[in-house]
A and B are shown apart, each in its own frame.
Chain A
Amino acid sequence: MSLVKPEMKSFVWLQTADGLIQQVEEEVAMFCPMICREVIHKSMGSSKNHAIKLPERVTPAVLGLILDYCRFHQVAGRSNKERKTFDEKFIRLDANKLCDLVSAADSLQLRPLVDLTSCAIARMISGKTAEEIRETFHIADDLTEEEKLEPIKIKTDDSRVRLLNRLYARKRKQLKAREKSKDVEVEEERVEDRSVDDLLSFINSGDEDSKGVKPAKNKKRNRRKKNLRKDPSPNIEKKNPSYKEMDSLSSSHNSEIEDLPNQSISLKFLGYVSTESDFDDGLDPALKEQLDREVEDFAQRLNSVWSK
């Protein structure tokens, strides 16, 4: 490291990712820990040929800003008030520049500038709606309608609240249907007293016995069948169509809402498996659990962005 004589400043050579080389006053550049290390430990930066290669994130424009910052703050005599005033003016930049700046400062390990810029970015985010934030930072909106759970506002004529209310309504319907199926399950027990023949014929006879029972009912049945590998043959064919639906149902939460109204699967399978009634309990909770989880997850996602 060269001596610093009062009349003669020494310079450090820096090279940005685009190949541009420039020289900067040593005390200014050394304010950055990363540059400091390069100079001291690796003896770089003393000439044009040995210019310090700055990290990729440091573009020439941003480097200019950072050097302005360093140039001001490396002077020891400044008061706290002066520094604060400078900082406040310094970060009056647009979102794009701020993000470039924080990224570059981070790669140069200039912690005070990272904190300062992060604060400024946080101020740009705080209190804004998602749409406003997306606009400020040009974030691509790639969430589906259902995934987008906007904060609830008091005024109900907001379109987002209407959407949410629609989602709520659908969920309520689903829950109600589940309640109903619970009642139906109770009835189920009674029906199971019938003889097997009776039940078989009952099943084979009609197609409709729809009480608007939720597909979940059949999901459970099908599941159970699948797990037990017991197939009373007449039931297999009937089950298969709904089996497919069951898969689509369980695949994603999003489609769950769409698929719901389309399903009207019969209750035919109700009574046939008195012997499997124990498994009834075994799977029912498991399925119920899965449903509970889905509802909870939905409710959580709704409430996790509950702000007002």
Chain B
Amino acid sequence: MDTNLVSREDYITDLPESIIETILTKLPLRDAVRTSVLSSKWRYTWTTLTELRFDDDCCISDAHHRALPETGLVKFVNQFLLLHNGPITRFTLSSEYLERCPYVDQWLLFLSRKDVQELSFGLAETEWFKAPSCLFSCKKLIALELVRCELDPPLHFKGFPNLKRLNLQQISIAPDAVETLISSCTLLESLTLSYFEGAKLTVRAPNLTYLMLEGYFKDICLENTPMLVVVSIAMYMAEAYQSSSCNFDKVLGGVPSIQRLTGHSYFAKYMSIGNTLGKIQPTYRQLKIIDLYQVSFDDMTEIMVILRLILSAPNLQTIQIEGSSWSTDPLDLDFWDKECPRDATFAQLKVVKLTQISGLPHEMRFIEFLLGNSPALEVMDVTKNVYETDEDEDMFMEILAFERASDDVEFMFAEDQV
């Protein structure tokens, strides 16, 4: 027999450690641990993994046992951590069944001592996990994701000095505590707050580039966010948007580098308060994509928000708007003839996509305005909201008849069965 063959019988065990770690990291933890029985050399290879992910699939696959995490997941994590050897850079714990228990606090304490860099915790819905104070002593944290959790930063907490990404979902935290948390993490680049039940929120984050806010906000102010590039805001409270100042300025006043703006639910309504078309500034030279949902074309103020946005974005390429309009009473229709800046040009606008359009007067005027002022337009995609039909094909025919500034527009019409 060829001696080469004999000595290289084993294909895999003698691969460099870094490769074996890469391979083991791509396995579910349970399988990685099982490699310990392959041979004596594999006994403790898995114990030096630095990226750990624990979830409900980790231990027992029997559905009955899975619902009793104490017998499965807790035991698995405990024993795994005891046998683990070395640093842990990424730790993820995600379970639908595991509720708060003393072990979870201990695991956090253990991780805080291991200089963990990326931490993600998501436990059961029933009883929210209260983050122990050792969480705030994880000084090396770069990314933190918490789901369904009570956060109560201690008084002396000065922020996570290295934190770049923060993702809080369904978190219960005092309003000023979250503002302090955000502003004290000076390196923060990405912030996501979902299902947030806060009232006022002021964001001060000088290095922030990505922002996503979703929840029952009454007031949002982006006070110190000069580097923001992507902004996505979803606001769920319809009433109580009072403001002494212009909300548009409060939100978008300090984001000159913004490239993409997304707004859901009552965002347009919120932005409309205090807004005027008088001053079209600042100019958003980088703004390329505007994505707005549930815009009410009945409300002239919301339309003015859109107009102000597109008029202050000379390099805008894509507009996507989902309408949410009901009334056919043509209020303020003379705006379009009298006040709308007819000589505006959307030089870079290529794609316009409108959905949930009912053919209301304001909607039609808006489409006409876009068609007539976009010399580079390539796609006009309109989807009709079938629920509100009075006249069917007329709407599309009417659009086709509008004067268009671009010769190469491709029209895409569709009907949406609601």
Partners in one complex: yes
Question: Judging by beta carbons under 8 Å apart, are B10 and A137 in contact?
Answer: yes
CA distance A19 to B13 in the complex (A): 27
Q: Which residues of B contact A127 (CB under 8 A)?
A: 31
Question: Judging by beta carbons under 8 Å apart, are B79 and A140 in contact?
Answer: no
CA distance A134 to B13 in the complex (A): 10
Cross-chain contact of B37 among A106, A125, A150 (Cβ < 8 A): A150
Q: For the complex, is A141 an interface residue (Cβ under 8 Å from B)?
A: yes
Q: For the complex, is A122 an interface residue (Cβ under 8 Å from B)?
A: yes
Q: List A residues 119-150 near B (Cβ within 8 Å).
A: 119, 121-122, 125-127, 130, 133-134, 137-143, 147-150
Q: For the complex, is A305 an interface residue (Cβ under 8 Å from B)?
A: yes
Question: Judging by beta carbons under 8 Å apart, are A305 and B34 in contact?
Answer: yes
Task: Scan B29-47; emit 1 where CB is below 8 A from any A CB, else 0.
Answer: 0110111111110110000
Q: For the complex, is B154 an interface residue (Cβ under 8 Å from A)?
A: no
Q: For the complex, is A99 an interface residue (Cβ under 8 Å from B)?
A: yes
Q: For the complex, is B61 an interface residue (Cβ under 8 Å from A)?
A: yes
Instruction: In the complex, identify which listed stretch (B18-26, B331-339, B365-373, B378-386) lies at the interface while the others stay far away.
Output: B18-26
Q: Which residues of A contact B42 (CB under 8 A)?
A: 139
Q: Which residues of A contact B43 (CB under 8 A)?
A: 143
CA distance A150 to B42 in the complex (A): 14
Q: Which residues of A contact B13 (CB under 8 A)?
A: 137, 139
**Residues A143 and B79 in contact in the complex (CB < 8 Å), given A106-B16, A121-B23, A125-B35:** no
Q: Which residues of B contact A149 (CB under 8 A)?
A: 37
Q: Which residues of B contact A103 (CB under 8 A)?
A: 15-16, 19
Task: Scan A85-119; emit 1 where CB is below 8 A from any B CB, else 0.
Answer: 00000000001101110110010000000110011
CA distance A304 to B29 in the complex (A): 11
What is the interface size of chain B, counting residues whose CB is below 8 A from a CB of the partner? 37
**Residues A304 and B36 in contact in the complex (CB < 8 Å), given A125-B23, A138-B11:** yes
What is the interface size of chain A, counting residues whose CB is below 8 A from a CB of the partner? 39
Q: For the complex, is B60 an interface residue (Cβ under 8 Å from A)?
A: yes
Q: Which residues of B contact A100 (CB under 8 A)?
A: 11
Q: Which residues of A contact B40 (CB under 8 A)?
A: 142-143, 147
Question: Judging by beta carbons under 8 Å apart, are B38 and A130 in contact?
Answer: yes
**Residues A118 and B23 in contact in the complex (CB < 8 Å), given A138-B9, A139-B39, A150-B37:** yes
Q: For the complex, is B27 an interface residue (Cβ under 8 Å from A)?
A: yes
Q: For the complex, is B87 an interface residue (Cβ under 8 Å from A)?
A: no
Q: For the complex, is B239 an interface residue (Cβ under 8 Å from A)?
A: no
Q: Which residues of A contact B22 (CB under 8 A)?
A: 114-115, 118
Q: Which residues of B contact A99 (CB under 8 A)?
A: 11-12, 15
**Residues A304 and B83 in contact in the complex (CB < 8 Å), given A103-B15, A139-B38, A149-B37:** yes
Question: Judging by beta carbons under 8 Å apart, are A304 and B79 in contact?
Answer: yes
CA distance A308 to B60 in the complex (A): 5
Q: List A residues 272-308 near B (Cβ within 8 Å).
A: 300, 303-308
CA distance A114 to B21 in the complex (A): 12
Q: For the complex, is B62 an interface residue (Cβ under 8 Å from A)?
A: yes
B12 (CB) vs chain A CBs: closest residue = A137
**Residues A142 and B26 in contact in the complex (CB < 8 Å), given A99-B11, A304-B33:** no
CA distance A305 to B59 in the complex (A): 9
Q: For the complex, is A60 an interface residue (Cβ under 8 Å from B)?
A: no
Cross-chain contact of B33 among A98, A137, A150, A305 (Cβ < 8 A): A305
Main secondary structure, interface of B, reads helix
Question: Judging by beta carbons under 8 Å apart, are A305 and B36 in contact?
Answer: yes
Question: Judging by beta carbons under 8 Å apart, are A308 and B61 in contact?
Answer: yes
Q: Which residues of B contact A126 (CB under 8 A)?
A: 27-28, 31
A97 (CB) vs chain B CBs: closest residue = B11
A137 (CB) vs chain B CBs: closest residue = B12
Q: Which residues of A contact B76 (CB under 8 A)?
A: 303, 306
CA distance A122 to B46 in the complex (A): 13
**Residues A102 and B59 in contact in the complex (CB < 8 Å), given A127-B31, A143-B37:** no
Question: Judging by beta carbons under 8 Å apart, are A119 and B26 in contact?
Answer: yes
Q: For the complex, is B158 an interface residue (Cβ under 8 Å from A)?
A: no
Task: Scan A236-272; emit 1 where CB is below 8 A from any B CB, else 0.
Answer: 0000000000000000000000000000000000000
CA distance A148 to B40 in the complex (A): 10
Q: List B residues 87-122 near A (Cβ within 8 Å).
A: none
Q: Which residues of A contact B16 (CB under 8 A)?
A: 103, 106
Question: Judging by beta carbons under 8 Å apart, are A95 and B61 in contact?
Answer: no
Cross-chain contact of A140 among B9, B33, B36 (Cβ < 8 A): B9
Q: Which residues of A contact B38 (CB under 8 A)?
A: 130, 133-134, 139, 141
Q: Which residues of B contact A140 (CB under 8 A)?
A: 9-10, 39
Interface centre among A118, A119, A141, A300 (most CB of B within 10 A): A118
Q: Which residues of A contact B19 (CB under 8 A)?
A: 102-103, 106, 114, 118
Q: For the complex, is B63 an interface residue (Cβ under 8 Å from A)?
A: no
Q: Which residues of B contact A95 (CB under 8 A)?
A: 11-12
Cross-chain contact of B27 among A122, A151, A306, A308 (Cβ < 8 A): A122
A305 (CB) vs chain B CBs: closest residue = B34
Q: Which residues of B contact A98 (CB under 8 A)?
A: 11
A106 (CB) vs chain B CBs: closest residue = B19
Shortest A276–chain B CB gap in Å is 35
**Residues A134 and B27 in contact in the complex (CB < 8 Å), given A118-B19, A300-B83, A303-B79:** no
A141 (CB) vs chain B CBs: closest residue = B39
Question: Judging by beta carbons under 8 Å apart, are A307 and B9 in contact?
Answer: no
Known: A102-B19, A141-B38, A306-B75. 20 other contacts (CB 8 A): A95-B12, A99-B11, A103-B16, A103-B19, A114-B19, A130-B37, A134-B38, A138-B10, A139-B10, A139-B13, A140-B9, A141-B39, A142-B40, A143-B39, A143-B43, A150-B37, A303-B75, A304-B79, A305-B36, A305-B37
- List the 4 shortest-distance A-B pairs measured between CB atoms, nearest first: A122-B26, A99-B11, A137-B12, A118-B22
Can you spell out 7 A-B residue pairs with CB atoms less than 8 angstroms apart? Answer: A122-B23, A130-B38, A138-B11, A139-B12, A139-B42, A149-B37, A304-B83
